[in-house]
Amino acid sequence: MVRVALVQFEPGRSKVESLRVIRGLVEGYEGRPDLIVFPEYSMLDPTGLDAGFIYGEAEDLGGGWVGFFRDLASTRNSCVVATLFERSGEPPRVYNTVVVIDRGGDVVGVYRKTHLFDILGYRESSFIASGGSLFKPVDVCGLRLGVAVCFELRYPEVFRVQALRGAEAVVVPAGWYRGPLKEETLRVLTQARSHENVIYTIVAALYGSNFTGRSMVVDPYGVVVVDGGVGEKVVEAVIDTSLVYKAREKMPLLKLGRWSMLLEEFREAIRL
């Protein structure tokens, strides 16, 4: 069993403001989780901000922002999934980056969001540079863990590749913007990604005037284990990794997939 804590909060407009909120939630939380997950855009809410300002707030992986979460991991004896705006070589654009930290405080995985949210009137690519490769799952705290970010819930391939690489769960830091039917969309997509890949999907989502909240954990059958609803809080869930393999015995979707044929069809389709 893996105990998971999802930290749901409203980010500030600077990393100083956001860190103050994060500290308050973490220090007031007395749980003993194996894994603590923070949302996308944890460093700050970028809505409407100048790209140059965001770049000025951004840090390298060796900076104090990641250092805070490394200390949190070692102090709490928990693995941590945290996010940041990382300085890129394409200023003023930054990377939308996820770091996976083990119990000892070591960074064991880094993912830079590859699919950017350029729909519904929003243009993430105006201030974010896309990463060049998908995350390769890592073993942390008793879990073979994959990573995707927010908008990538709309790309089944991101999850399929990681499931085929052995992921038992994919964690999804999210800043899911409010809007008509957006909460329903978040839930449906999360359930679909879980069921079709026979994995747990773990969404830690921002909450506030711009964001939906609704952090959730969905099991390999597509059943919602916990839905955090709205408000600033720490949402807890327990993941049973044995359920992944029991479900895959009943629904061997990954084994039955005709991947070579599908790959050729996909290559043909994207040339059209």
pLDDT digits (tens, 9 = 90+) for 217-247: 999 999 999 999 999 999 999 999 999 999 9
User: What is the overall mean pLDDT for the chain?
Assistant: 97
pLDDT of the residue at 100: 98
pLDDT digits (tens, 9 = 90+) for 102-126: 999 999 999 999 999 999 999 999 9
pLDDT digits (tens, 9 = 90+) for 60-75: 999 999 999 999 999 9
**Distance of alpha carbon 138 from alpha carbon 158, whole angstroms:** 15
What is the torsional sign of CA 246, 136, 23, 231?
negative
pLDDT digits (tens, 9 = 90+) for 42-62: 999 999 999 999 999 999 999
First-to-last C-alpha distance (Å) of the chain: 46
Q: What percentage of the chain reaches a pLDDT higher than 70?
A: 100
pLDDT band of residue 163 (cuts 50, 70, 90) is: very high
Domains and CATH numbers, the chain: 2-271 (3.60.110.10)
pLDDT digits (tens, 9 = 90+) for 25-46: 999 999 999 999 999 999 999 9
* Mean pLDDT along residues 127-134: 97
pLDDT band of residue 271 (cuts 50, 70, 90) is: confident
Q: Characterise 214 by phi-psi region: left (phi > 0), alpha (psi -120 to 50), beta (else).
A: left
- 24 pLDDT above the threshold of 70: yes
Give one DSSP letter per residue of 183-224, joined into a string.
HHHHHHHHHHHHHHHTSEEEEEE-BSSSBB---EEE-TTS-E
- What are the tokens at 207? 């909450």
* Mean pLDDT along residues 130-147: 97
pLDDT digits (tens, 9 = 90+) for 200-220: 999 999 999 999 999 999 999
Chain centroid offset of residue 105 CA? 19
For residue 158, the number of C-alpha atoms closer than 13 Å in the C-beta half-sphere is 29
Give the contacts of 206 (CB within 8 A, at least 6 positions apart): 8, 9, 10, 11, 39, 40, 41, 42, 45, 174, 175, 176, 212, 213
Q: Which helix (H) or strand (E) holds 250?
A: helix 241-250
Looking at residue 157, the DSSP 8-state letter turns out to be: H
**Distance of alpha carbon 214 from alpha carbon 189, whole angstroms:** 13
- 272 pLDDT above the threshold of 90: no
- Tell me how many degrees the CA angle 26-18-75 measures, rounded to the nearest 5: 30
- What are the tokens at 110? 């880094």
